[in-house]
Structure 1
Amino acid sequence: MAEIKVEKKKPIWPWIIAGLIVLVILYFLFANGDDDEMIDETEQEQVIDTTSIEEENTANWDNNRNDTVGGVDGYLSYIGDESRMGIDHEYTNNAIIYLMNAVQAKANELNVNIDADIEEIRQKAEKITQDPMATNHADKIKDAGSDLTNVIENLQEEQFPDLSQDVQEVKSAVQDIDGSVLTLEQKDKVNKFFDEAGDVLNKMS
């Protein structure tokens, strides 16, 4: 009787394991590629966000150049919340901008050209936020404030002779600011200047 040879089937589990290993490798390859893309996209978004912030800070001055939007009312509304004065000097920076806009708007209303004066003041005031940790912000605020007070006084002398005492109070307030003392240590004096300037501009209506 002839012997029947029976061939044993080769097990298929090695192929299954090999397939799984290949799938795992492919998964990690594609997953890492997606992560890299996500990281790149995140980095791009961060760069865009940073650029936007920088452009916004720069535009803060450029967009307000010769801009009188808000005028005296906008200024009074802004300085109404004095608690916002912080170490980054954003409040005082913006208050100076609003004050310049208010003075410019008042001069336009009275047909008085103060463009040269405002431009000079603007160049001085821009330095207030260039270095948030600088210790001479009060000196810059006082300098810009004194120049603005002089412009207000010129408007008063030409158009509002009865407000001379009010202007003197503004001058006194700005002179009380000590340029050698940190701004945050004399917030009341800085805010008093902003308030007095707003008061006299409001009375010029």
Structure 2
Amino acid sequence: MSNSSALYRPAPGRFMLSGALVLLAAFALLSSPRAHAADAAESCKPPICRLFQAPDAFLSEVFNGAVPAPQVLSLDAAAQSRISAVFGRPFPQSRVRYWTQDGRTAWIFDDLGKKGYQPTTSGFVVRDGGQVDVARVLIYKESRGEQIGDAPFLAQLAGAKANGTGLDVAVDNISGATLSVQMMVRMARTAIELNALVP
């Protein structure tokens, strides 16, 4: 058989390199905020889930369309102890992704209003000095208490600073959503503490 009619067999090294590039591309896509936002939107179905704002839309808004590359805060035992003190229980992550630009840090994480509840995803921006700049509910999965995602409620958290394990502002309760209100206060305080740990 002539060389021209022989089957083409790619070199093993070339095949392995191509496969590695495909895997890296897939990982980059899945780990991007946009991919996670799409997954979140797809999995959030009414009436037990309300998508207030996709995570990538939140980041785009708070950074005026120029979202910085994400960074990772690693929590050692001492940091975990500090976070757990304000989070109310052991913080479930040892590495927390955040975004920082011009003296502001953005955080997106989950919390539970009560054990057995579905997690709520919220986003916070904290300024240098430990002041909440922006607080948003992104994905809410409870049948009651979704008023915590409304602008008038969230406006109460803007400008808040740490006061012990709580905040230095009084936040009005919502009838039938006390645990959800407490959760948002707790999450805002946790975002402040996370910001304080950024090197």
Greater fraction of residues in helix:
1
Greater fraction of residues in strand:
2
Do these two structures clear the TM 0.5 threshold for a shared fold by scoring above it?
Answer: no
**TM-score relative to the length of structure 2:** 0.32
**TM-score relative to the length of structure 1:** 0.32
